[in-house]
Amino acid sequence: MGRKSKQDEAADRFVELRAQGKTYEEISRELNVDETTLLEWSKDRSLEIQNLQAIRYEAIQDRAYATKARQLELIGARIEAIREELDKRSLEDMDTKDLEGLLLKYLALLEERREAVRFTIQDGEFEFQKATWQG
């Protein structure tokens, strides 16, 4: 396979720059190519540009997800540290209003997790059914 012409190399570079989000004006200055030519290359090589953009966006998302995963790890570690510290403490230092508020919070959490129990009779026998509380 032969060596690419300067125009082909410039067109390849154009595809890379467009995929990076550069404007026609910026690319025109960098490559020293008329914007009319860039528009023609864009039309001819739009699929290549789209594919490179997709690859670039996927890489960005992968980095963002890794960052998000690390953030979740840090949040989880903080929650665990807070739990450990709370386990060491007594509720004696809390004022009445705060203690009542804590009681209501835990009662609400308990209510969210409560399950309803129903008894039914089928063919003269009791059947026990446990269903999630719809409260």
β partners of residue 115: 132
* 105 and 57 inside one domain: no
- Residue 46 pLDDT exceeds 70: yes
**Backbone CA torsion sign across 11, 16, 18, 24:** negative
Out of 89, 106, 122, a domain closes at 89
Q: How confident is the model at residue 135 (pLDDT cuts 50, 70, 90)?
A: very low
User: Alpha-carbon distance 111 to 18, whole Å?
Assistant: 56
pLDDT tens digits, 10-28: 999 999 999 999 999 999 9
CA distance 75 to 94: 26
More confident residue, 39 or 72: 39
pLDDT in tens, 52-89: 999 998 888 888 777 777 777 888 888 778 778 877 87
Among 2-6, 30-34, 64-68, which is the least confidently predicted range? 64-68
Q: How far apart are CA 14 and CA 18, in angstroms?
A: 6
Quote the pLDDT of residue 134.
47
116/133 same-domain check: yes
Tell whether 76 and 112 lie within a shared domain.
Answer: no
Q: pTM score > 0.85 for this model?
A: no
**Does 24 share its domain with 75?**
yes
Q: Write out the residue range of the structural domain in which residue 11 sits.
A: 1-89
Same domain (yes/no): 60, 105: no
Instruction: Check whether residue 108 and residue 131 sit in a common domain.
Output: yes
User: Is residue 34 within 8 Å of residue 28, measured between CB atoms?
Assistant: yes
Q: 41-78 in b/e burial notation, b at 16+ Cβ within 10 A?
A: bbeebeebbeebeeeeeeeeeeeeeeeeeeeeeeeeee
Residues 108 and 84 in one domain: no
Whether 83 and 54 map to the same domain: the answer is yes
Residues 72 and 45 in one domain: yes
Rounded Cα distance, 49 and 16, in Å:
7
**Where is pLDDT greater, at 127 or 40?**
40
Query: pLDDT at position 68, please?
Result: 73
For the stretch 85-125, pLDDT in tens is 877 878 788 888 888 888 888 888 777 777 666 666 667 66
Residues 10, 75, single domain; the answer is yes
Six-digit token string for 27: 């690319």
